[in-house]
Amino acid sequence: MVRDWTAVMPVKRLGAAKSRLRGAVPAARHRDLALAMVRDTASAVLATPAVAELLVVTDDPVAGAAVTALGARVVPDRPGAGLNEAMRHGADEVAGLGRHRVVLAGDLPALRPGQLDAALAAARPGRGFVADAAGTGTVLLAVGPGEPLDPRFGLGSAVAHAASGARPLDGDWPGLRQDVDTPADLVTVLALGAGRHTCELLRDLGLEVACVSAA
Protein backbone atom coordinates (compact mmCIF):
# COMPACT_ATOMS: atom_id res chain seq x y z
CA MET A 1 0.00 0.00 0.00
CA VAL A 2 1.37 3.39 -1.02
CA ARG A 3 0.72 6.16 1.48
CA ASP A 4 0.38 8.98 -1.03
CA TRP A 5 -2.82 10.81 -0.10
CA THR A 6 -2.88 14.12 1.72
CA ALA A 7 -6.16 14.48 3.60
CA VAL A 8 -7.55 17.94 4.34
CA MET A 9 -10.19 18.58 6.98
CA PRO A 10 -11.59 22.05 7.70
CA VAL A 11 -12.78 22.71 11.25
CA LYS A 12 -14.87 25.72 12.21
CA ARG A 13 -14.36 27.52 15.49
CA LEU A 14 -16.03 25.20 17.98
CA GLY A 15 -18.36 27.90 19.30
CA ALA A 16 -19.91 28.29 15.84
CA ALA A 17 -19.86 24.63 14.81
CA LYS A 18 -22.86 22.32 14.40
CA SER A 19 -25.64 24.83 15.10
CA ARG A 20 -28.34 22.38 13.94
CA LEU A 21 -27.05 19.83 16.46
CA ARG A 22 -27.74 22.07 19.44
CA GLY A 23 -29.96 20.34 21.98
CA ALA A 24 -28.45 16.90 21.44
CA VAL A 25 -26.40 17.44 24.61
CA PRO A 26 -26.57 20.14 27.31
CA ALA A 27 -25.61 23.54 25.94
CA ALA A 28 -22.48 23.71 28.09
CA ARG A 29 -21.13 20.56 26.41
CA HIS A 30 -21.98 21.40 22.80
CA ARG A 31 -18.40 22.45 22.00
CA ASP A 32 -17.14 19.25 23.61
CA LEU A 33 -19.36 17.18 21.34
CA ALA A 34 -18.16 19.01 18.23
CA LEU A 35 -14.55 18.50 19.32
CA ALA A 36 -15.09 14.80 20.10
CA MET A 37 -16.41 14.20 16.59
CA VAL A 38 -13.43 16.03 15.09
CA ARG A 39 -11.05 13.90 17.15
CA ASP A 40 -12.76 10.66 16.10
CA THR A 41 -12.74 11.68 12.45
CA ALA A 42 -9.08 12.70 12.58
CA SER A 43 -8.13 9.47 14.36
CA ALA A 44 -9.75 7.37 11.63
CA VAL A 45 -8.16 9.40 8.84
CA LEU A 46 -4.70 9.11 10.39
CA ALA A 47 -5.15 5.34 10.75
CA THR A 48 -6.03 4.94 7.05
CA PRO A 49 -3.23 3.07 5.24
CA ALA A 50 -3.30 5.22 2.09
CA VAL A 51 -3.13 8.56 3.96
CA ALA A 52 0.34 10.06 4.35
CA GLU A 53 -0.70 13.26 6.09
CA LEU A 54 -3.72 15.00 7.57
CA LEU A 55 -3.93 18.78 7.26
CA VAL A 56 -6.51 20.42 9.49
CA VAL A 57 -7.48 23.94 8.41
CA THR A 58 -8.71 25.78 11.48
CA ASP A 59 -8.40 28.95 13.51
CA ASP A 60 -9.70 27.28 16.67
CA PRO A 61 -6.81 26.81 19.13
CA VAL A 62 -8.50 24.04 21.11
CA ALA A 63 -9.34 22.00 18.03
CA GLY A 64 -5.88 22.67 16.65
CA ALA A 65 -4.17 21.42 19.79
CA ALA A 66 -6.36 18.31 19.92
CA VAL A 67 -5.66 17.18 16.36
CA THR A 68 -1.96 18.07 16.64
CA ALA A 69 -1.76 15.67 19.58
CA LEU A 70 -3.21 12.97 17.34
CA GLY A 71 -0.57 13.54 14.65
CA ALA A 72 -2.24 16.00 12.26
CA ARG A 73 -0.66 19.18 10.91
CA VAL A 74 -2.65 22.36 11.57
CA VAL A 75 -2.70 25.28 9.17
CA PRO A 76 -4.61 28.54 9.70
CA ASP A 77 -7.71 29.34 7.69
CA ARG A 78 -6.06 32.25 5.90
CA PRO A 79 -8.88 32.76 3.39
CA GLY A 80 -11.44 32.98 6.20
CA ALA A 81 -14.11 32.74 3.53
CA GLY A 82 -16.03 29.59 4.38
CA LEU A 83 -15.83 25.86 3.89
CA ASN A 84 -14.99 25.65 0.20
CA GLU A 85 -12.21 28.20 0.36
CA ALA A 86 -10.72 26.49 3.44
CA MET A 87 -10.71 23.17 1.57
CA ARG A 88 -9.23 24.69 -1.57
CA HIS A 89 -6.57 26.48 0.45
CA GLY A 90 -5.50 23.31 2.27
CA ALA A 91 -5.60 21.04 -0.77
CA ASP A 92 -4.33 23.22 -3.61
CA GLU A 93 -2.14 25.78 -1.88
CA VAL A 94 -0.76 24.11 1.26
CA ALA A 95 -0.57 20.51 0.04
CA GLY A 96 -0.04 21.54 -3.58
CA LEU A 97 -1.36 20.39 -6.94
CA GLY A 98 1.37 17.78 -7.29
CA ARG A 99 -0.17 15.43 -4.73
CA HIS A 100 -3.16 13.15 -4.38
CA ARG A 101 -5.56 15.15 -2.19
CA VAL A 102 -8.80 14.33 -0.44
CA VAL A 103 -11.00 16.68 1.57
CA LEU A 104 -13.63 15.45 3.96
CA ALA A 105 -16.01 16.61 6.62
CA GLY A 106 -14.90 16.75 10.25
CA ASP A 107 -18.14 15.27 11.62
CA LEU A 108 -17.76 11.60 10.71
CA PRO A 109 -17.40 9.96 14.14
CA ALA A 110 -18.33 6.49 12.81
CA LEU A 111 -15.69 6.57 10.07
CA ARG A 112 -13.61 3.39 9.72
CA PRO A 113 -10.11 3.54 8.21
CA GLY A 114 -10.94 0.62 5.93
CA GLN A 115 -13.92 2.47 4.45
CA LEU A 116 -11.84 5.56 3.71
CA ASP A 117 -9.09 3.39 2.24
CA ALA A 118 -11.58 1.70 -0.11
CA ALA A 119 -13.04 5.05 -1.18
CA LEU A 120 -9.58 6.42 -1.97
CA ALA A 121 -8.77 3.35 -4.04
CA ALA A 122 -12.03 3.84 -5.97
CA ALA A 123 -11.19 7.52 -6.53
CA ARG A 124 -8.19 6.76 -8.74
CA PRO A 125 -7.78 8.14 -11.33
CA GLY A 126 -9.22 11.62 -11.66
CA ARG A 127 -11.65 13.48 -9.42
CA GLY A 128 -14.43 11.79 -7.46
CA PHE A 129 -16.81 12.38 -4.59
CA VAL A 130 -18.78 10.41 -2.02
CA ALA A 131 -22.34 11.52 -1.36
CA ASP A 132 -23.70 11.55 2.17
CA ALA A 133 -26.25 9.04 3.48
CA ALA A 134 -29.12 11.23 2.28
CA GLY A 135 -27.65 11.33 -1.22
CA THR A 136 -27.80 15.11 -1.54
CA GLY A 137 -24.70 16.29 0.30
CA THR A 138 -21.03 15.42 0.00
CA VAL A 139 -18.72 13.98 2.65
CA LEU A 140 -15.57 13.48 0.55
CA LEU A 141 -13.99 14.94 -2.57
CA ALA A 142 -10.78 13.43 -3.95
CA VAL A 143 -8.54 14.60 -6.75
CA GLY A 144 -5.32 13.41 -8.36
CA PRO A 145 -2.10 15.30 -9.08
CA GLY A 146 -2.28 18.22 -11.45
CA GLU A 147 -6.01 18.89 -11.10
CA PRO A 148 -7.57 21.65 -8.97
CA LEU A 149 -9.89 20.51 -6.20
CA ASP A 150 -12.80 22.79 -7.22
CA PRO A 151 -14.97 22.06 -4.16
CA ARG A 152 -18.73 22.67 -4.35
CA PHE A 153 -19.79 21.87 -0.77
CA GLY A 154 -23.07 23.28 0.51
CA LEU A 155 -26.76 22.74 -0.19
CA GLY A 156 -27.20 20.20 -3.01
CA SER A 157 -23.46 19.60 -3.27
CA ALA A 158 -23.75 16.06 -4.66
CA VAL A 159 -25.49 17.38 -7.78
CA ALA A 160 -23.06 20.31 -7.94
CA HIS A 161 -20.02 18.06 -7.77
CA ALA A 162 -21.41 15.73 -10.43
CA ALA A 163 -22.17 18.71 -12.67
CA SER A 164 -18.59 19.93 -12.22
CA GLY A 165 -17.28 16.67 -13.70
CA ALA A 166 -16.48 14.78 -10.50
CA ARG A 167 -17.26 11.06 -10.58
CA PRO A 168 -19.65 9.68 -7.91
CA LEU A 169 -17.96 6.92 -5.93
CA ASP A 170 -20.17 3.99 -4.95
CA GLY A 171 -19.44 1.68 -2.07
CA ASP A 172 -20.82 0.26 1.16
CA TRP A 173 -19.22 2.85 3.42
CA PRO A 174 -21.86 3.74 6.06
CA GLY A 175 -19.46 5.34 8.51
CA LEU A 176 -17.99 7.52 5.79
CA ARG A 177 -21.37 8.60 4.46
CA GLN A 178 -22.96 9.44 7.82
CA ASP A 179 -22.11 12.98 8.83
CA VAL A 180 -23.75 14.54 11.88
CA ASP A 181 -25.83 17.68 11.38
CA THR A 182 -28.84 16.94 13.61
CA PRO A 183 -29.67 14.99 16.79
CA ALA A 184 -31.25 12.29 14.58
CA ASP A 185 -27.94 11.94 12.73
CA LEU A 186 -26.18 11.42 16.05
CA VAL A 187 -28.57 8.59 16.92
CA THR A 188 -27.78 6.96 13.57
CA VAL A 189 -24.04 7.29 14.17
CA LEU A 190 -24.34 5.64 17.56
CA ALA A 191 -26.15 2.72 15.93
CA LEU A 192 -23.28 2.39 13.44
CA GLY A 193 -20.71 2.58 16.21
CA ALA A 194 -19.09 5.93 16.92
CA GLY A 195 -15.48 6.44 17.88
CA ARG A 196 -13.97 6.52 21.34
CA HIS A 197 -14.06 10.26 21.96
CA THR A 198 -17.72 10.72 21.05
CA CYS A 199 -18.74 7.72 23.10
CA GLU A 200 -16.73 8.76 26.13
CA LEU A 201 -18.34 12.20 26.09
CA LEU A 202 -21.86 10.81 25.89
CA ARG A 203 -21.18 8.32 28.66
CA ASP A 204 -19.74 11.13 30.77
CA LEU A 205 -23.10 12.84 30.36
CA GLY A 206 -24.80 9.76 31.77
CA LEU A 207 -26.23 8.51 28.49
CA GLU A 208 -26.49 4.76 27.93
CA VAL A 209 -24.74 4.21 24.63
CA ALA A 210 -23.25 1.01 23.25
CA CYS A 211 -20.44 2.17 21.05
CA VAL A 212 -17.94 0.36 18.91
CA SER A 213 -14.55 1.93 18.30
CA ALA A 214 -14.29 3.41 14.81
CA ALA A 215 -10.60 2.49 14.66
| CB 26, CB 205: distance < 8 Å | yes
Q: Where are the beta strands (DSSP E) in 22-148?
A: 51-58, 73-75, 100-104, 127-131, 138-143
Do the annotations mark residue 58 as ligand-binding?
A: no
Strand partners, 167: 128
Do the annotations mark residue 157 as ligand-binding?
A: yes
| CB 16, CB 77: distance < 8 Å | no
Do the annotations mark residue 138 as ligand-binding?
A: yes
C-alpha to C-alpha distance for 91 and 102, rounded to whole angstroms: 7
| CB 130, CB 117: distance < 8 Å | no
C-alpha to C-alpha distance for 144 and 14, rounded to whole angstroms: 31
Binding residues for phosphoenolpyruvate: 138, 154, 157
